[in-house]
Amino acid sequence: MPDFQQIFGQPPQTEASAPGRVNLLGEHTDYNDGFVLPTAIPQRTTVQLSLSNDSQHHFYSQELDQKVSISEKHPTTEGFASYILGCIRVLETAGYTIPPLNLYVNSSVPMGSGLSSSAALEVATLRGLRKLLNLNIDDIQIAQFGQQAEIQYAGVQCGIMDQMASSLADTNSMLFLDTRTLERRVLPFPAGAEILAIDSGVPRTLAGSGYNQRRAECEEAAKLLKVKALRDIADPQAVEILPEPLRRRARHVVTENNRVLEVLQGVSAIRFGELMNASHASLRDDYEVSVPALDTLVAMLQETPGVFGARLTGAGFGGACVALVEEGKADAIASNILTRYENTGNKGHILVPEIP
Ligand code: ADP
Ligand code: MG
């Protein structure tokens, strides 16, 4: 692959990186002002930057082997460049002056697997801009600018979790985040446990439309319950007055928020696993965002010795699942499960731990 010098004819002036993330608990809660519990993964996205010597921005992605040039003044663009240009444009809207740039992306975060390569790209880009231009912005603003870029320029109605996780989480702990107040707490992993994430190999085909529909259902449920957001309901009984399917949608959000809050009290790996299993059942039966392949994979994980618990992670409709397993056993458990999973006609692959 060509490097920065070969693409842009000059060396980079600076570089920055940011990790992907996996969400351990608190799924489909972030757009309900609720609670989430992601952790950073070892895979990262790196951007290298320099000032461009013409009046255009030039972006190159090593993964896509694609170069895009955009006039400094051109408001929008498409594809991967929209995430990067989006970061530039939201900074400009906030009053910063961004000169024409050369920006080179390379990443070990798999794209579209639910590990949030998009947020890693945004946070890495914003960190790179902060460094190159000495911008006075903090890590929370970076997350917020990244989210705005994704909503306004990539057209994805995302919550704040992915960018906050990429900007603030590390791989050695869990980041509890209140998505309404942005209050956060760094929590240790349950003792004796580590993370395993597996891609189901099922593409998230309905993810976009299904996601928007669930968002709309939650808004409707909150309206009927006369609260600002479902986060404001703590008692699962309160949703029983709602018509179906809103009752089950709201029940997922309320119980899921309670599961995350329980972790704040400090729980064992065994209890954490039970909460993950309950989260999966809720996502499958109440929120209806699972698919048979994910259910199969999660069930295989749940019945395997050494696994504390497992659930789908990310928006669902395909994509990945995450498990909490006994420390040191993730690789062995994964290879055993992947062989059995292949016998069901699907092909999965391990996402975390990172395969060197
Ligand atoms: P996820 O965030 O779960 O990986 P998304 O669909 O939200 O999936 O984001 C994936 C998109 O982000 C890609 O289609 C691409 O446009 C952009 N992207 C992420 N990482 C890179 C990269 N390394 N190079 C180019 N584009 C990237
Ligand atoms: Mg994304």
pLDDT digits (tens, 9 = 90+) for 147-200: 999 999 998 888 899 999 999 999 999 999 999 999 999 999 999 999 999 999
Q: How far is the CA of 232 from the centre of ligand 2 (A)?
A: 26
* HSE-up of residue 259 (Cα within 13 Å, Cβ side): 27
Testing ligand 1's pocket by substitution, the residue of 106, 118, 150 carrying the most ligand atoms inside 8 A of its CB is 118
Ligand 1 pocket check for 121: Cβ under 6 Å: yes
**Residue 57's pLDDT band (boundaries 50, 70, 90)?**
very high
Average pLDDT over residues 45-55: 96
**Residue 235's pLDDT band (boundaries 50, 70, 90)?**
very high
**Residue 74's pLDDT band (boundaries 50, 70, 90)?**
confident
**Residue 77's pLDDT band (boundaries 50, 70, 90)?**
confident
Number of C-beta neighbours around residue 353 at 10 A? 16
**Residue 208's pLDDT band (boundaries 50, 70, 90)?**
confident
Catalytic residue from among 33, 162, 199, 286? 162
Residues in the chain: 356
Q: What is the pLDDT of residue 72?
A: 83
CA distance 46 to 56: 21
By three-state DSSP, how is residue 197 classified? strand
Q: How far is the CA of 281 from the centre of ligand 1 (A)?
A: 28
Ligand 1 pocket check for 107: Cβ under 6 Å: yes
Burial of 248 (0-12, 13-18, 19+ CB in 10 A): middle
The tokens for 305 are 């010795």
Mean pLDDT of the chain, nearest integer: 96
**Residue 75's pLDDT band (boundaries 50, 70, 90)?**
confident
Ligand 1 pocket check for 31: Cβ under 6 Å: no
pTM across the whole model: 0.94
- CB burial of 81-111 (b: ≥16 within 10 Å; e: otherwise) equals bbbbbbbbbbbeeeebebebbbbbbbbbbbb
